[in-house]
Amino acid sequence: MNLPYQLLTFAVLATCWELYAGVRGGLLLPGFAETVRATAGLLGEAELWRALYVSNQALVLGFALAVVVGVPLGTALGRFRLLERYADVHLNILLVTPMAALIPLLVMSVGVGTVSRVVLVALFSVVMVIVNSRAGVRQVDPALIEMARSFGAGERTVWARILLPAALPAVMTGVRLGLGRAVTGMVLVELLMVSDGIGGLILTYRGLLKAPQLYGTIAVILAEALLLGAAAHWAERRLARWTRPNPSRTRTARSQR
């Protein structure tokens, strides 16, 4: 339903970009059409795909580490107040710390390589996963837990039947937001530390003043981020389908008023 409006907005932005580049552009600002041609040319080059392969290794491993650590830790923090008292200060430090400042520490501790890139990507995304997972458990109505307890439900049953199903939408939201942050960390770590993958390609085109290829590379990164976000949103709808409104029930409720 929103596709026509999105296409209209994209057309307006592309037109403004082309007009501005025609008036004020030059060596460092290509037009929209020129950028599209450069992007199409990049997609046919093996160098781009090699760079994407190298960069996405850190993205996949780092994001998987963030999910494996963040979801259990976030749900545990939301459930056990005592654990949250000890861990909350460390979580707040991660929330306010500029991750780029940790790059020199990573280089000195684990060296320059895949491990440091994976760790930084994980640090970028794990905070979002933890915070949203904790919020999902916290928003569960305590009356539901007390009712389950009154019927003899144990802690495992409370987790399986109440906490995890109720927290799943918030957990998936955290995973989706963390995925966007992971892409940011993937690019940032290569721009500031290891110029081997897609970040190295950006620095190369910038140094050679190849603006169309530079903008095309950034467009490829944006396209990947949008595709990953759409895939995460689709998974969120599939796994938490009970949270979506039922159109037939909505129409019935309106007709009964």
Within a domain: 43 = yes
Within a domain: 95 = yes
Within a domain: 23 = no
Within a domain: 201 = yes
Residue 222 one-letter amino acid: L
Within a domain: 245 = no
Residues 133/74, Cβ–Cβ less than 8 Å: yes
Q: What is the pLDDT of residue 68?
A: 94
User: Over the chain (257 residues), what is each successive 10-residue block's mean pLDDT?
Assistant: 79 87 78 89 90 90 94 90 83 81 78 82 91 89 83 82 86 90 87 80 87 90 90 83 56 51
Q: What is the pLDDT of residue 253?
A: 46
Count of domains in the chain? 1
Q: How far is CA 239 from CA 93, 129, 156, 165, 209, in A?
A: 31, 16, 21, 10, 46
pTM: 0.82
Question: Alpha-carbon distance 245 to 253, whole Å?
Answer: 12
First to last CA, the chain: 27
Within a domain: 246 = no
Q: What is the pLDDT of residue 63?
A: 94
* Segments in the chain forming alpha helices (H): 3-24, 32-43, 46-79, 81-96, 103-110, 114-138, 142-150, 155-158, 164-192, 198-207, 211-239, 247-256
Question: Alpha-carbon distance 126 to 196, whole Å?
Answer: 24
Within a domain: 64 = yes
Question: By residue range, what is the domain housing residue 183?
Answer: 29-239
Q: What is the pLDDT of residue 245?
A: 54
Q: What is the pLDDT of residue 60?
A: 93
C-alpha torsion sign, points 53, 55, 60, 61: positive
Q: How far is CA 167 from CA 58, 149, 239, in A?
A: 28, 19, 12
At which residue do the structure tokens 């799943």 appear? 168
Q: What is the pLDDT of residue 187?
A: 87
Spatial CB neighbours of 43, under 8 Å, sequence gap ≥ 6:
220
> For residue 217, what is the domain's CATH number?
1.10.3720.10
